[in-house]
């Protein structure tokens, strides 16, 4: 059964969503992310994807206190990312209560440091984020595009022991127009050893079923929750299995 992983994106400590990663297209959904997290937990959800959008944009963690509050108030298994650039950052995220550290830009731009993290903390503490546009990676909160092919990138990282990966198609994110299932199918067929989590575009239960058929082990859901396209009651079939 596919794992449901709701997302909380933080800007100035508030729960927001962007459209296609555009900070100018921001919508605030709640000024109390802890209440949102508790609501998810009360429904039976076990995981939370927590993103520090301020940190991602600035290159420095800005909402660590938000992680601390949610981790203290709930028993959710949290992955936290955004602005994690140093080993001290990585350690501070774990100490603040995260079970996993979501890493994207460093894995692309500072491979030596990323390798050190794997050696020091273990690959099982890393939730590798791959943000793509036309199968090419984008980094730094999607502000920088690269010519790095996702298949070549994942080949290198899986050889280092990474097996927990989430993939966001930037063109789909926040658009509520379905997920990139063709890409996910290609990835899961090519990298049978990874636990791939889909992100972006989910707008209905049928989208979740399609993602599951693509071979993904989990799905991150954000805007669909906040826009009431999918309710927690709708997801009870997936959550309670």
Catalytic residues: 9, 131
For residue 138, list its beta bridge partners. 131, 145
Q: Residues 81, 48: contact at Cβ < 8 Å? A: no
What is the rounded distance in angstroms from the CA atom of residue 212 to the CA atom of residue 93? Answer: 30
Tokens encoding 207: 């989208």
Tokens encoding 10: 């933080």
Tokens encoding 41: 């937990």
- Which DSSP symbol is given to 149? E
Q: How many residues does the chain have?
A: 241
Question: 3-state DSSP helix/strand/coil percent for the chain, to nearest 5?
Answer: 40, 30, 30
Q: Residues 167, 138: contact at Cβ < 8 Å? A: no
- Of the candidates 163, 171, 132, 168, the residue with the CA atom closest to the CA atom of residue 150: 132
Place of tokens 């992310």: 33
What is the rounded distance in angstroms from the CA atom of residue 3 to the CA atom of residue 174? Answer: 20
């Amino acid at each position: 059964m596919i794992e449901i992983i709701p997302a909380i994106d933080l800007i100035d400590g508030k729960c927001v969503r962007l459209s296609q990663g555009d900070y100018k297209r921001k919508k605030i959904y709640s000024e109390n992310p802890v209440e949102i997290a508790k609501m998810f937990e009360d429904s039976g959800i076990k995981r939370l994807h927590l993103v520090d959008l301020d940190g991602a944009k600035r290159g420095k963690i800005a909402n660590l206190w938000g992680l601390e509050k949610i981790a203290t108030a709930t028993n959710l298994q949290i992955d936290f990312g955004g602005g994690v650039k140093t080993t001290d950052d990585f350690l501070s995220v774990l100490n603040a209560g995260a079970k996993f550290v979501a890493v994207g830009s460093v894995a692309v731009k500072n491979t030596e440091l990323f390798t050190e993290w794997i050696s020091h903390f273990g690959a099982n503490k890393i939730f590798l984020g791959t943000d793509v546009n036309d199968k090419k990676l984008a980094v730094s909160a999607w502000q920088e595009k690269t010519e790095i092919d996702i298949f070549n990138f994942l080949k290198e990282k899986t050889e280092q022991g990474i097996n927990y990966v989430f993939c966001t198609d930037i063109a789909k994110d926040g658009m509520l127009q379905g997920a990139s299932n063709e890409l996910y199918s290609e990835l899961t067929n090519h990298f049978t050893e990874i636990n791939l989590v889909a992100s972006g575009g989910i707008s209905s239960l049928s989208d979740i079923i399609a993602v599951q058929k693509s071979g993904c082990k989990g799905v991150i859901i954000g805007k669909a929750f906040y826009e009431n396209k999918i309710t927690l009651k709708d997801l009870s079939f997936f959550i309670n299995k």
